[in-house]
């Protein structure tokens, strides 16, 4: 796996679009420069591994890498697709899935009607 510079990592923004509910690793690494981005080849990667604070996102084609490619790099929680599960199991026989609960707000919410109340400035007697 090849470690990319911040400038190279920024060119991979489309790999992380659109942002979805759940762990967001790629976009913060691109925006802040904190973390690391590794790829199987450069340019035109087929696999992207992004890490920040011990959390990883693994994207791309699992057929493009081997378990040995991953073993030196993963030491934390990995967000990926089911397609990578067999490869991760070979690289880390003790790996366990951890189902996350992600609460998603509805796309469109109805405005809440204002209640029957009045608005006033705070006064010393409010303390």
Beta-carbon contacts of 88 under 8 Å, excluding residues fewer than 6 positions away, are 70, 74, 78, 80, 95
Structural domain including 87 reads 2-101
**Is 126 a member of any domain?**
no
Q: How many domains does the chain have?
A: 1
* Structure confidence by residue, pLDDT tens digits, 76-94: 899 999 999 999 999 999 9
**Is 78 a member of any domain?**
yes
**Is 7 a member of any domain?**
yes
**Is 52 a member of any domain?**
yes
Whether the predicted pLDDT of 114 surpasses 80: no
Whether the predicted pLDDT of 109 surpasses 80: no
* Structure confidence by residue, pLDDT tens digits, 1-33: 999 999 999 999 999 988 888 888 999 999 999
> What burial class does residue 80 get, using C-beta atoms within 10 Å of its C-beta: 0-12 exposed, 13-18 middle, 19+ buried?
middle
**E strand or H helix at 31, and its extent?**
helix 26-32
**E strand or H helix at 75, and its extent?**
none
């Amino acid at each position: 796996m090849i470690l990319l510079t911040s400038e190279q990592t920024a060119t991979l923004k489309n790999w992380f679009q659109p942002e979805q509910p759940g762990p967001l690793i790629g976009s913060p690494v691109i925006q802040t420069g904190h973390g690391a981005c590794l790829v199987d080849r450069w340019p035109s990667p087929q696999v992207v591994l992004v890490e920040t604070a011990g959390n990883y996102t693994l994207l791309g084609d699992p057929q493009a890498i081997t378990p040995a490619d991953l073993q030196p790099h993963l030491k934390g929680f990995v967000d990926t697709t089911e397609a990578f599960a067999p490869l991760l199991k070979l690289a880390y026989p003790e790996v366990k899935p951890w189902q996350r609960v992600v609460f998603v707000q509805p796309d469109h919410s109805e405005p809440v009607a204002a209640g029957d109340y009045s608005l006033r400035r705070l006064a010393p007697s409010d303390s």
